[in-house]
Each structure stands twice: as C-alpha cells, then as structure tokens.
Amino acid sequence: MAIPGKVSARARPAQSRLWRPPFVGLVTTVLMLLAVGLGHAVMRAIENALGHDNTYVASIFIGFGGIVMLWYGVKSRRENFATWMGFGAGLVVWMAWVEFFYMYYGRKNFGLMPRVENGVVTTEPEYLIMAATIGVLFAMLAWYIFDKDTRCNMFVWIQNRLGLRDGLGERSKTARDRNYALITFMETFYVTWFMYAWNLLVFDPAFVGTGDSAFYAEAATMFLSITWGGFCFSRLIRYRRTSTALRYAIPTANILWISVELASRWGILTEIWLYPARYATELLLISAAFIVMAVMIYRAPKKPSEVGNW
C-alpha cells in the first residue's frame, strides 16, 4: 500500500536509467507491431483448430470474453492496468465480433465469392463486406473530430486547423476523469478498422484501377505509411510514461503496418502470421518475445497517476 506523501520506486520512472526516452517508445512500438502480426496468427490458429462452423459459434463467446476484460479495466482506477485491459479487449472483440462475424456472413450466409486477380485470391468475402462499412467509419470519424474532450493529437490538430476549439468550449474532463480502459478499447478498435479500410481501398481495382495506376496508388500509400508512421514514432520516442506510450504506439504501429502489408503484396516478405502451422517455431519465438516485452512494460517504473495514486 502506498504511503501518503511518498512515491514508491516503481512510480518514479525518472530514477530508472533504462525506462527513459527513447527506450520507452522503441519497446512499445515493437510490441505493437508484434501484436498486429500475432493477432492475425491467433485468428488463423483458432480457425484451423475449430473449423469454420465451430469458429462462428465460438466467436460469440470469445467476444464476450473481451467485454469481460473491458469490464475489469473500466472498474480499475489504475491507468496502467486499465490501458492493458482496454487494448486486449479491443483486439479480442475486433477478432471475434468483426472478423469472424463478417467471415460467417460473407462466406456462409451470403455465399460471396472472393476477389480473384490472375488466378490468385486477393480479397476474401469478409473483407468485401468490411469495405462497405467505410461510410460508418467516416461518420464515427466526424464524431471524434467534434468531441471537445478528445486528447488525441491528430484530432486536436484537426480541431485547431478548423477553428473548432472556441466553439467546442472547455473540456469537461480532467486526466483523472478519463476512462483509460474504454479509451484504449475504442482506440484499438477504431484504428484497426481504419487501417483495414485504408488497405481495402488501396487494393480495390474498382477504386485505384489496375496496372500502373494501382502500383502508383500502392507506392504513394507506402510513402505515406512510412512518413506518417515515422513522424508518430519520432514523437513516441520522447515519451517517458509507459501507459501513454502504449496508447500512442497503437496507431503508430498500425500505420507502419500498412507498409508491411504492401511489402507482402509485392513479394518482398512472407506473411508467416497467416500460416501458423507452417511457421510454428518462428511464431512461438515471436510470441515469447512479445510476452517478455509486455511484462517488462507492465512492470516498468510508473508515475503515481499510472498506478492509481493521485
């Protein structure tokens, strides 16, 4: 139990020679990049282990498991714990209630055919359905832009550029009032959704065309992914608070992941996370590295506010 007026050693990151910039930002970025790949691998492993029909049923209960994680996070006043619970819940709910549900409707219920180019499947039926949700995605984007309590750097920047800050008024929530589990949950969910939509548009021949026009669109996307993601990373490596860095690493890694998807499409690398049975050893090593880094970040020295001492 913390003694009033005193701060535990774990709550003073400035005293740690290890957990300082740029190490905090570097580790959280690598962790989130691994999380994206492992998320794909877990999804494929569940699908391979249970089969399609059983996966559709199991996805209902898996999604509720994510909601239970969110419930525990929302109840907690510890920013560190709440952030991790929100992140885990976002990944689980996205996988179970979006990817697996769309898989059921696209493949089994609607019986859609995948998009095939040059004899190769390029877009599965579930992602054809997901592409139709872009309008809803933009509607939610508008809500975030006009939210006066947002502290997202991008949305605050947009608000300032649009001259909205005066009209929106003062924020009604302080840092202590923020629900970090719910914030991280929605951030994980929305960022994942946004990046999927971005990928689907770039890989859609009806949108970008074929041949040279498709390549130019992909090359521009690669440039934007590296530039935008690199800018976010340059900011992230200045962070000291691991909880804040973890939340900022979620969009940073997902933006950079677009370039990974493109590199795979161009044949530069193999997406081993899509073939968990074939690359079991490699994925087990990556999983071990992820767990070690996750434990390191969770147990890293924290400021008082990160562990519930306000």
Question: Residue 218 is part of which domain span?
Answer: 19-112+130-169+176-296
- CA separation for the pair 205, 115 (Å, rounded): 10
**Domain presence at residue 143:** yes
**Domain presence at residue 309:** no
**Domain presence at residue 303:** no
Highest mean pLDDT: which of 60-74, 262-276, 289-303? 60-74
- CA separation for the pair 265, 254 (Å, rounded): 17
Instruction: Please list, in sequence order, all residues whose beta carbon lies within 8 angstroms of the beta carbon of residue 301, skipping any fewer than 6 positions away.
Output: 9, 10, 11, 12, 13, 15, 16, 19
pLDDT digits (tens, 9 = 90+) for 25-37: 999 999 999 999 9
**Domain presence at residue 227:** yes
Total domains present in the chain? 1
Q: What is the rounded average pLDDT of the residues 31-48?
A: 95
Report the 10 Å Cβ neighbour count for 310. 9
pLDDT digits (tens, 9 = 90+) for 154-196: 998 999 999 998 888 887 777 677 899 999 999 999 999 999 9
pLDDT digits (tens, 9 = 90+) for 133-152: 999 999 999 999 999 888 88
Q: Say if CB 242 and CB 296 are below 8 A apart.
A: no
Phi, psi for 116 (deg, rounded to 5)? -120, 130
**Domain presence at residue 12:** no
Q: What's at 189, amino acid-wise?
A: F
**Domain presence at residue 82:** yes
Model pLDDT, residue 169: 81
Q: What is the rounded average pLDDT of the residues 255-267?
A: 93
